[in-house]
Structure 1
Amino acid sequence: MKYPQVILPLRYTLNRYCLRNYATTKRITQNLISCPQVRLGEGKLLYLLISIYMHGETLFSRTIVRGGRAKKHLYLYDEVREELEELGLCSKALGGGMMNINTKSREMTIDGKCKTFGRADHHLTKEILLGTPEYKNFKITVGK
């Protein structure tokens, strides 16, 4: 009678940590690594700073920047979340703001805040953008 009390917690632990489907985890890890870090549009747009991770593995996450023309930050987040769910990834919005991108003069302004998710760390966003080959030669100004 005491065996089920001992075996059930052990079985739960094995299923949770040791017997996880290796192929699925490997595929999701590859999706996490290959997901583009920056995807923005042109002109004046809303942007979000988003943390993406595998389900249950929040310690191993990446921070991405997504921007587009949307009425609200929530609509933009819903689009990004659907895209990431198809890849098997979870997401958490870290904050938002506004960008004004001028590709002809290679200038960008980051400012503002999001009512739904709060103010994004604009300096972190600037560092991420300067780390990508697409925006490394831009003059990026961080406002309030």
Structure 2
Amino acid sequence: MKYPQVILPLRNTLNRYCLRNYATTKRTVQNLKNYPQVKLGDGKLLYLLISIYMHGETLFSRTVVQGGRAKKHPYLYAEIREELEELGLCSKVLGGGMMNINAKSQEMTIDGKCNTFGRADHHLTKEILLGTPEYKNFKITVGK
């Protein structure tokens, strides 16, 4: 019974001072907070709804919308994941779909699904888009 009393404080001390680099963690938290919630282009494009978080800290995640012109959703995700890994962030795809954005008339259509990652929650995507200053005045239509 004496071993847990000795090992537990030792493990806590190692976690605090040796195993975790707090400068890196602080930088990663800043990257998570400063990462843009929406990155889209104009015209017809594929999009992904992605949860981004620090490694091992899935409770503190952000949901972002990323879109671009690609042949398929996995190619788009490969580009996004590479960018996130450089910032020290992990990601999980919540689903995908298609968007048709017309910036001149401020209209947008969200519909479709991704065969690889499944269908994104288009209504959640709409809420995220309307919460950003760039797309708050858009008329967003959610299809089937």
Decide: shared fold, TM above 0.5: yes
Q: Deviations over 1:55-94 (max 9, x none)?
A: 0100000000000000000000000000000000000000
Report what 2:116 is aligned to. Answer: 116
Q: TM-score, normalised by structure 2?
A: 0.91
TM superposition shift of 1:9 = 5.8
Report what 1:15 is aligned to. Answer: 14
Q: TM-score, normalised by structure 1?
A: 0.91
Report what 2:50 is aligned to. Answer: 50
Q: How many percent of aligned residue pairs carry the same amino acid? A: 79
Mapping of residues 80-91 of structure 1, within 5 Å:
80-91=80-91
Q: Specify the SS of the correspondent of 1:114.
A: coil
Q: Specify the SS of the correspondent of 1:41.
A: coil
TM superposition shift of 1:136 = 0.3
Per mean C-alpha deviation after superposition, the further-off stretch among 18-27 and 73-82 is 18-27
Report what 1:63 is aligned to. Answer: 63
1:97 maps to 2:97: yes
TM superposition shift of 1:22 = 1.5
Q: Specify the SS of the correspondent of 2:116.
A: coil
Q: Specify the SS of the correspondent of 2:76.
A: helix
Name the CA distance, whole Å, in 2 between partners of 1:78 and 1:24: 24
Report what 1:38 is aligned to. Answer: 38
For 1:113, give the aligned amino acid. K
Report what 1:125 is aligned to. Answer: 125
For 1:117, give the aligned amino acid. F
RMSD over aligned Cα, in angstroms?
1.5
Name the CA distance, whole Å, in 2 between partners of 1:79 and 1:21: 27
Name the CA distance, whole Å, in 1 between partners of 2:75 and 2:13: 40
| Alignment coverage as a number of residue pairs | 141
For 2:111, give the aligned amino acid. D
Name the CA distance, whole Å, in 2 between partners of 1:34 and 1:88: 13
Name the CA distance, whole Å, in 1 between partners of 2:143 and 2:13: 50
In structure 2, list runs of 5 or more residues that go unmatched: none
Name the CA distance, whole Å, in 2 between partners of 1:30 and 1:7: 36
For 1:65, give the aligned amino acid. V
For 1:40, give the aligned amino acid. L
TM superposition shift of 1:13 = 4.2
